[in-house]
């Protein structure tokens, strides 16, 4: 039986053990364990990354970039997000690190040199976890500070594995989680009427501005307040089971909580310098049966408004990758396929390129963020329109949840199809792409179709 233990110079220990059972249950039980106040769970293509507690933290805002590592605190004036983050990560006094984090949508205003909206706050935050669990291919890699912290993590993992596997899901903690999912489903507001009047007026104004050639496309969103606090771990487990996301996440950072099922990535970068992005634009419901799904898919593929909306998004993503990639390496290796995402189906494409000399994954992130499918075209003009037409800053909505490591790899999921909670206020947020042929009625319908992949599975606290 394979068991591998390594203790690097920075006094972190690692151990690799076999694991069995549903990794989703492991994620939910770890989140409820009280192991640490702050945490982030990230699912990517069969891999699960669970980071708890903070061994080092990077904060980026418009004025200052700060790196806290143990008792050491370093700060310097912020430049571009790419250069500032890259500099900070190169300074980490830790071996073979992996960072977890978030980027708020308003980071884009810094990138495009627009005035900030709302009070100053961190635009991007990354942390090296004090406790980390990586689940892949029936193996679990555990990492924590040597001594009592590491033993605590090993013991907790063994306890959860026993509850998930040996007790066959009949342990008190598992049964409690399942009971909450069954009995505490949240009744959500009627999304066909909640804030739709103001949203419809914004859509009409955006169509007028697009007709005046102020910009080509803008994504406008509306918030849906929820009447009760959310049980985030239970909502995550309940929602992930029926969903088919590109990425999923569950987090609690500085009091902000969120869980979601991202339909697309903003950036996927590997250790060899290859980067890709997968924009989704153009939407139809999945329908109530296979026949209706096929009919709606054909309608989507032949709708000139939806096809145009998708094509211009791909065109912009191509131009953005060309800014940081080796000449001639950028290609579209999947164009306008249909991606099924629980309650909706989207037109999807994938673009790929190889980073040019002198550029890192963070430069590619800077070029692609915010996602064109959550902003508009051109981005600067659409960012200005969003600030005018939406009543509040977006925060994490339409930003990113991400994982990166010392090899140069970076994976950033677009934050959509999510629920958010802070200071006992809970809400969902959902948007639609507005082009010249848009109508308020259709865009409201589209937002309802999209958010049902979250709203149907919420569990109240």
Full pLDDT tens readout for the chain, 461 residues = 344 444 334 578 999 999 999 999 999 999 999 999 999 999 999 999 999 999 999 999 999 999 998 888 999 999 999 999 999 998 888 888 999 999 999 999 999 999 877 767 899 999 999 999 999 999 999 999 989 999 999 999 999 999 888 766 678 899 999 999 999 999 998 888 898 999 999 999 999 999 999 999 999 999 999 999 999 999 999 999 999 999 999 999 999 999 999 999 999 999 999 999 998 888 888 888 888 888 988 888 888 888 888 888 899 999 999 999 999 999 999 898 888 877 788 888 999 999 999 999 999 999 999 999 999 999 999 999 999 999 999 999 999 999 999 999 999 999 999 999 999 899 999 999 999 989 999 999 999 988 999 999 999 99
In terms of domains, do 203 and 136 share one? Answer: no
**pLDDT at res. 387:** 95
In terms of domains, do 312 and 408 share one? Answer: yes
**pLDDT at res. 308:** 85
b/e sequence 2-35, b meaning 16+ C-beta within 10 Å:
eeeeeeeebebbbbbbebebebbbbbbbbbbbeb
In terms of domains, do 202 and 315 share one? Answer: yes
Domain stops at, among 150, 165, 182 = 182
**pLDDT at res. 119:** 67
> Residue 305 has which token pair?
């408004």
Which residue shows structure tokens 């792409």? Answer: 433
Domain-embedded: residue 167: yes
Domain stops at, among 182, 198, 220 = 182
Which residue shows structure tokens 């001639």? Answer: 328
Measured distance CA(107)–CA(366) in Å, rounded: 10
Domain-embedded: residue 320: yes
Domain-embedded: residue 37: yes
In terms of domains, do 295 and 419 share one? Answer: yes
Residue of 14, 264, 306, 443 with catalytic role: 264
Domain-embedded: residue 273: no
Domain-embedded: residue 96: yes
- CATH number for the domain that contains residue 223: 3.60.120.10
Domain-embedded: residue 269: no
**pLDDT at res. 288:** 82
In terms of domains, do 401 and 450 share one? Answer: yes
How many domains is the chain built from?
2
What's the CA angle centered on 296, arms 221 and 288, to 5 degrees?
A: 90
Active site (annotated) includes residue 264: yes
In terms of domains, do 392 and 362 share one? Answer: yes
Domain-embedded: residue 241: no
Domain stops at, among 151, 166, 182 = 182
In terms of domains, do 316 and 331 share one? Answer: yes
Domain hosting 451: range is 185-232+278-455
In terms of domains, do 212 and 128 share one? Answer: no
In terms of domains, do 98 and 221 share one? Answer: no
In terms of domains, do 205 and 348 share one? Answer: yes
* Secondary structure (DSSP) of 171-219: SHHHHHHHHHHHH-BPPPP-TTTTTHHHHHHHHHHHHHHHHTTS-SEEE
What's the CA angle centered on 405, arms 335 and 135, to 5 degrees?
A: 85
Q: Are 170 and 26 in contact (CB under 8 A)?
A: no
In terms of domains, do 153 and 199 share one? Answer: no
> Residue 14 has which token pair?
């690692």
Domain-embedded: residue 352: yes
- Per the confidence metrics, is the pTM higher than 0.75? yes
Give the sign of the dihedral formed by CA 376, CA 122, CA 397, CA 266. Answer: positive
In terms of domains, do 30 and 78 share one? Answer: yes
């Amino acid at each position: 039986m394979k068991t591998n233990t390594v203790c690097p110079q920075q006094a972190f220990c690692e151990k690799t053990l076999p694991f069995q059972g549903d990794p989703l249950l492991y994620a939910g039980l770890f989140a409820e364990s009280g192991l640490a106040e702050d945490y982030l769970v990230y699912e990517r293509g069969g891999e699960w990354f669970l980071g708890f507690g903070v061994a080092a933290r990077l904060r980026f805002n418009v004025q200052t970039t700060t790196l806290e590592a143990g008792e050491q605190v370093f700060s310097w004036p912020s430049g571009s997000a790419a250069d500032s983050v890259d500099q900070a990560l190169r300074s980490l006094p830790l071996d073979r690190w992996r960072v977890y984090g978030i980027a708020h949508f308003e980071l884009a205003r810094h990138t495009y040199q627009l005035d900030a909206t709302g009070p100053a706050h961190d635009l991007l935050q990354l942390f090296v976890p004090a406790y980390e669990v990586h689940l892949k291919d029936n193996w679990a890699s555990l990492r924590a500070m040597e001594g009592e912290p590491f033993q605590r993590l090993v013991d907790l993992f063994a306890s959860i594995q026993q509850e998930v596997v040996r007790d066959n899901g009949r342990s008190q903690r598992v049964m409690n989680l399942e009971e909450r999912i069954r009995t505490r489903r949240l009744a959500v507001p009627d999304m066909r009427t909640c804030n739709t009047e103001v949203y419809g007026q914004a859509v009409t104004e955006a169509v007028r501005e697009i007709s005046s050639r102020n910009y080509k496309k803008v994504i406008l969103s509306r918030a849906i307040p929820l009447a009760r606090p959310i049980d985030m771990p239970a909502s995550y487990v309940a929602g992930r089971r029926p969903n088919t996301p590109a990425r999923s996440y569950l987090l609690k950072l500085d009091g902000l909580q969120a869980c979601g099922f991202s339909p697309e990535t903003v950036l996927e970068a590997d250790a060899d310098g290859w980067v890709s992005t997968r924009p989704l634009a153009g939407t139809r419901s999945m329908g109530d049966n296979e026949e209706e799904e096929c009919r709606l898919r054909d309608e989507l593929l032949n709708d000139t408004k939806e096809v145009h909306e998708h094509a211009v998004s791909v065109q912009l993503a191509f131009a953005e990758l060309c800014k940081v990639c080796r000449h001639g390496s950028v290609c579209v290796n999947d164009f306008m396929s249909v991606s099924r995402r629980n309650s909706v189906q989207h037109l999807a494409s994938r673009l790929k390129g190889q980073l040019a000399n002198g550029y890192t994954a963070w430069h590619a992130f800077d070029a692609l963020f915010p996602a064109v499918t959550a902003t508009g075209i051109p981005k600067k003009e659409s960012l200005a329109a969003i600030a005018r037409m939406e009543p509040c800053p977006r925060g994490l909505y339409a930003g990113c949840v991400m994982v990166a490591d010392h090899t140069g790899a970076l994976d950033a999921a677009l934050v959509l199809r999510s629920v958010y909670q802070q200071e006992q206020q809970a809400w969902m947020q959902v948007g639609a792409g507005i082009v010249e042929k848009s109508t308020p009625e259709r865009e409201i319908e589209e937002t309802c179709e999209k958010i049902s992949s979250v709203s149907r599975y919420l569990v109240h606290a």
